[in-house]
A and B are shown apart, each in its own frame.
Chain A
């Protein structure tokens, strides 16, 4: 029976200041996860060597692994912290901000690039307006639905981006999550109408061809979204598209 939970946390006071490390020790309790431990810690943030410090800043909201807020690097692996059960983790538990994204403070990062990626690839259906047109969308077979549903559960947590060797401040690679949304939108019966434009947008610089096929993304995705399958499908779609472009059948 463990007595303590040991934490080693990489802290940073602001975007421009250097990071530093602190260690903490909390009494062990069953059924804890990283979020619940950080909640306990903020009630009395004292380091192992007895120094009272500022509470650790981190992001969390639903704590059911569906909002995507609480992703961070836990023992070197990017993952949501709400579903990281303490009993399953090696100690000391090393917490770092989600890599590749700019640090705001401590474990809080700025994931604005994910949003920009979704805007860039036009990850939406072009509807005429939000009023009722007295009919729905065309039918979708259960098989097509199951394939698409996998991608529609992406919660923009950023784990796949953090794990991707091609994505980061050094590159303009759009990253796996927005690419998977292109796969989703291009498969929809009316989303298909803008397929060509979406494909052109990922055929430009920083697009699909920057993927190095490391396959890290699919390994870390907490929702088990088949990101590499999407990227493979998009590879075929873009190849076809470039042939169409070449022969003027855009």
Chain B
């Protein structure tokens, strides 16, 4: 009897669920792994919206413009054929979400409403109240439940992916996972695996907007088994987050899109409550620095402007790391309706009402543009060839990656509301590619050798055993706090080479200190400290890839900023001016050197970085990004 070819998807966010639906739709048996119930995945945190050109606002918006905005937003670092396909398929994805019953916000005519988001000039962002990510995830979660009830998807919730099963030639033949309750370590043979395990904001904890499960451990495990990790140095710091002890909570960019203004008092010694400070004594610095975009300037520019105003000009509120994000000048009903979730979050977690007093915010680690390196196949139209098994494929045969854990769509920086889009699109593409891969396999589903399965299970069990028996002075949760502080201060919004070198040395020390950890929990049932310590080990490996990639890239591009290598636009000059054209030449020369994908490969002695050409076939870089 021929055994049907088994597929595995790891991760239950938007990317993973789209991939799962696509594979199950094609009739292949699918096992879906998640650390928890899939509907609790980090996708629910995306508040603002999802981009798709519907051109329903009389602004002559076009797919071409969406493509260009995405390419330029990423400072040309992303391969362009995948972006082209992403933007072209966005409206179709929205229509499909709508059929799933996603509660998109409506115009008075009952069609999908669209709003303005950062980094663009047209209203292009669909939204569902102020909880768009949650609504989109529930749409696919419901469809997964439908297929589950038909027996076409089997869920393994509360299981953690530990490692890949690999043939002698490196081909992926399944996974080893651990039941987070019984701690059973088990091999799951499969012919194809899709990794959709999200980002790694927890490297910066607690100064990150991401959920506690966004450790990047799963991607790091693949990286340590030979998967390439690309553009690791590009991490987006969201400019507007409220500080907290456990995490920093995102105040969506929609707050700026809907008219929110960012300011500080002009007088650093200001003591009056914000609303009693006259207009003339307020410094609306984004509006002054970036007249064309004002408060809706792209995230990296906004984050650095806040850094400049607080750290360099010393104008933070009360001398601290905080600036105002003000909604109090807007209509209360309008704000309540459009930004309900933001208001709720702020009231709930800060105890004050943004309708009555401006919010206080600061940048926080939000979204990694980098991730597992994935391939694509370009077709004659210049986009990705539909159905190609190369799309979203990692360099490990049989392993695909999608969503926030891949590096493919956002280059050096991501536009707001493009993440829900790329997660959904890349998930569907990865699913499609996995199907093509399965159909193209010549072998029957020969179960990988018992010996190989047993060896990998034993290797993973030994790691558990070592941690359980380790009895040193280190506490894993305190080590994690140290990791977060180190990454925030030395591999953060603004970077210098001496800091990065120091960070690498400190990471090496953290790696060694983890060997003398004491779990403080010897139970073999639902031992969260064991699972966390394993994650921490892999977070440190990933942090090294981030710091090493950042050290080697001597330029400013998108979210990666080293002041010593900045090529500034000469003040008051514009295209055509000799000084501007001279600047353009320097910008081009820099591109010749640095407009390249950085690719990290794991070695026991630390990451090795090499560079790869970017496919610029859709919109070659002729113009520097200019948000003035």
Contacts and interface: CB of A to CB of B under 8 A. Distances in A.
A82 B129 CA distance: 22
Given A115-B145, A153-B134, A54 B520 contact: yes
Contacts of A135: 95
Contact of A82 (B112, B246, B477): B246
Interface string B524-538: 011011000000000
Contacts of A32: 245
A20 interface: no
B249 to A, nearest CB: 6
Given A33-B246, A118-B145, A134 B92 contact: yes
Interface of B: 18, 21-22, 25, 36-37, 39-42, 44-45, 89, 92-96, 98-103, 105-112, 128-129, 131, 134-135, 138, 142-143, 145-146, 148-149, 181, 211-213, 244-247, 249-250, 341, 344-345, 348-351, 428, 475, 477-478, 481, 520-523, 525-526, 528-529
Given A119-B149, A142-B107, A145-B106, 20 more contacts: A13-B525, A29-B245, A31-B245, A33-B246, A52-B520, A54-B522, A55-B529, A62-B44, A65-B348, A68-B39, A69-B36, A105-B523, A131-B96, A133-B95, A137-B101, A139-B110, A142-B106, A145-B103, A156-B39, A156-B40
Given A55-B520, A105-B526, A111-B37, A66 B131 contact: yes
Interface in A74-129: 82-83, 85, 87, 104-105, 108, 111, 115, 118-119, 122-127, 129
List of 4 A-B pairs having minimum Cβ-Cβ separation, nearest first? A139-B110, A132-B92, A124-B142, A36-B246
Which has the most chain A C-beta neighbours within 10 Å: B92, B99, B250, B475? B99
B394 to A, nearest CB: 23
24 contacts: A14-B526, A31-B244, A36-B246, A39-B246, A39-B477, A44-B475, A55-B477, A55-B521, A62-B211, A63-B246, A66-B341, A85-B349, A118-B142, A118-B145, A124-B100, A124-B145, A125-B100, A126-B146, A130-B428, A137-B101, A152-B128, A153-B135, A155-B40, A190-B101
Contact of B478 (A14, A43, A66, A148): A43
Contacts of B522: 54
Nearest to B213: A61
Interface of A: 13-14, 29, 31-33, 35-36, 39-40, 42-45, 52, 54-55, 57, 59-69, 82-83, 85, 87, 104-105, 108, 111, 115, 118-119, 122-127, 129-137, 139-142, 145, 148-149, 152-153, 155-156, 184-185, 188, 190-191
A136 B95 contact: yes
A65 B100 CA distance: 24
Which has the most chain B C-beta neighbours within 10 Å: A36, A63, A65, A191? A63
A33 B22 CA distance: 40
B106 A127 contact: no
Contacts of B351: 85, 87
B99 A190 contact: yes
Given A65-B348, A67-B40, A125 B245 contact: no
B45 to A, nearest CB: 5
Contacts of A105: 181, 523, 525-526
Which has the most chain A C-beta neighbours within 10 Å: B92, B101, B529? B101
A119 B477 contact: no
A129 to B, nearest CB: 6
A122 to B, nearest CB: 8
Contact of B142 (A60, A64, A125, A136): A125
Contacts of A63: 211-212, 244, 246-247, 249
Nearest to A126: B146
B21 A130 contact: yes
A86 B569 CA distance: 49
B349 A33 contact: yes
Contact of A152 (B94, B110, B138): B138
Contact of B96 (A29, A61, A130): A130
A185 B102 CA distance: 10
B99 A127 contact: yes
Contacts of B213: 61
A35 B149 CA distance: 34
Contact of B40 (A45, A69, A82): A69
Contacts of B96: 127, 130-133
A3 to B, nearest CB: 17
B349 A83 contact: yes
Given A43-B477, A61-B212, A185 B101 contact: yes
Contacts of B477: 39, 42-43, 55
A134 B95 contact: yes
B143 A137 contact: no
Nearest to B140: A130
B112 A136 contact: yes
Contacts of B344: 65
A200 to B, nearest CB: 16
A130 B18 contact: yes
Given A43-B475, A132-B96, A60 B212 contact: yes
A117 B333 CA distance: 36
Contacts of B134: 66, 153, 155
A57 B95 contact: no
Given A33-B246, A125-B101, A125-B142, A57 B211 contact: no
B543 to A, nearest CB: 20
Contact of A153 (B131, B244, B528): B131
A54 B523 contact: yes
